[in-house]
Structure 1
């Protein structure tokens, strides 16, 4: 277990009930944070994650809100502070993922991607900066921001914009607020993916393996522990994002 601070600390984790959000919630609990666990529709999973969080000796409160609906960032932050006045961390982990090229992207897909993946973190960060005033914000990105994979047009665009927002916010809200991001690679492949697909993906990763949620938790802990880091995007992907070499004269085998 991580050494815990004697000073009370709390974190709001959006999308904290399942998958990577769950791992982040538990990782913060191990570090001694009380957890405000936001969820949309995964109530049963949220309650189970909350039980696991509390088993680590900290407190956990559940907060339901559809970030794709009428976003009420002021209310979410006000409720968070009512529960935990020692709130000092916001983790923007909630995300939606739609596979669609530009040609196939509907307004519904586009609006949902921007609303959940960009607008919600934008306004939650704004409210956090205004009401909490000091602490950290960590945005969860995707190592696909290193590429231009138009097959995920709206999703990827929203994450690229969130990366830029991370750097803008780090400047505007300094020195009181540190804003960073984590950009995961292949960590939790969708359950519909075959073993053959996974092997194909891993072959393109220089470290030749997928990551684990604990790698992302360690990245989170690093960003929390190093208080001279802000405006940074910490990519955790086995160097996959560095594989786009491009063509050059030295690799040309023709005349």
Structure 2
């Protein structure tokens, strides 16, 4: 019997790496996409294989390359491909006034165009499966310091629902919107304390919270077209902290 497999984009580092490890433990073989993190990708692949799952790495630069071929390559290697996890992301904060065409295009190519083409290719190639897009809980706000990034992520959020309608019931498409889980290393402790003050659950999240959300979306056949916010309630806190107002 062919083992189920998952294609994880951006699977070599940060949350992508954690999602890879979560899926491997859950019994999936892994097609691990990376852009420039070849050595970390191979490290993750070794760890997955040590857990008894198969893992192959695939390089693709979403800023320059056509991602469509990635689905065909992954499915040729893993005939049981059943999950597409769009975790790769480009993050370049800048307000509208400081966003040029190059930055706008880069943010949309990685954060929207690549998932769009991958979803399309996945739906064409598999008989049945699940897509999970990784978004950002900022999509409920209009935080202009992240203009291009946030507009692309908002579009990906809408794409989740649009694709769910087009490809169901064969393909279920959902999304996860993480909150404060793995902040950038450049974020200060003061910033994190300030963010936590606006989280009703009064805590910073952990990667395993996102892993639980991922498995829920994969295992529940009656969830389709949903964005699951895993952020301690920050996104529904209308008086919460808005990043454009951060004093630091």
User: Which TM-score bucket, shorter chain as reference?
Assistant: over 0.9
SS in 2 for 1:90: strand
Asked which structure has the greater CA Rg, the reply is 1
Long gaps (5+) in structure 1: 1-5, 247-255
Q: 2:6 aligns with which of 7, 11, 15?
A: 11
Q: 2:102 aligns with which of 100, 108, 122?
A: 108
Paired with 1:81 and 1:228, the residues of 2 have a C-alpha distance of 26
Q: 1:32 aligns with which of 27, 32, 40?
A: 27
Shift in Å, 1:199: 1.0
SS in 1 for 2:19: helix
Q: 1:137 aligns with which of 131, 141, 144?
A: 131
Instruction: Say what the alpha-carbon RMSD is for the aligned residues.
Output: 1.2
Shift in Å, 1:7: 6.3
Q: 2:58 aligns with which of 56, 59, 63?
A: 63
TM-score (norm 1): 0.92
Q: Match for residue 228 of structure 1?
A: 222
CA contact (8 A) 2:35 2:62 kept: yes
The reply on whether 1:176 has 2:170 as its aligned counterpart is yes
Shift in Å, 1:50: 0.9
Aligned length: 240
Q: Match for residue 167 of structure 1?
A: 161
SS in 2 for 1:136: strand
Shift in Å, 1:71: 1.5
The runs of at least 4 aligned residues of structure 1 exceeding 3 Å deviation read none
Q: Match for residue 43 of structure 1?
A: 38
CA contact (8 A) 2:174 2:217 kept: yes
Paired with 1:188 and 1:21, the residues of 2 have a C-alpha distance of 11
CA contact (8 A) 2:35 2:59 kept: yes
Paired with 1:201 and 1:134, the residues of 2 have a C-alpha distance of 40
Long gaps (5+) in structure 2: 241-248
Paired with 1:240 and 1:77, the residues of 2 have a C-alpha distance of 35
Residues 117-155 of structure 1: CA deviation (Å, up to 9, x unaligned): 000000000000011131000000000001110110000
The reply on whether 1:128 has 2:122 as its aligned counterpart is yes
Shift in Å, 1:28: 0.1
The reply on whether 1:21 has 2:16 as its aligned counterpart is yes
Residues 5-46 of structure 1: CA deviation (Å, up to 9, x unaligned): x86100000000000000000000000000000000001110
Q: Match for residue 246 of structure 2?
A: none
Paired with 1:190 and 1:131, the residues of 2 have a C-alpha distance of 35
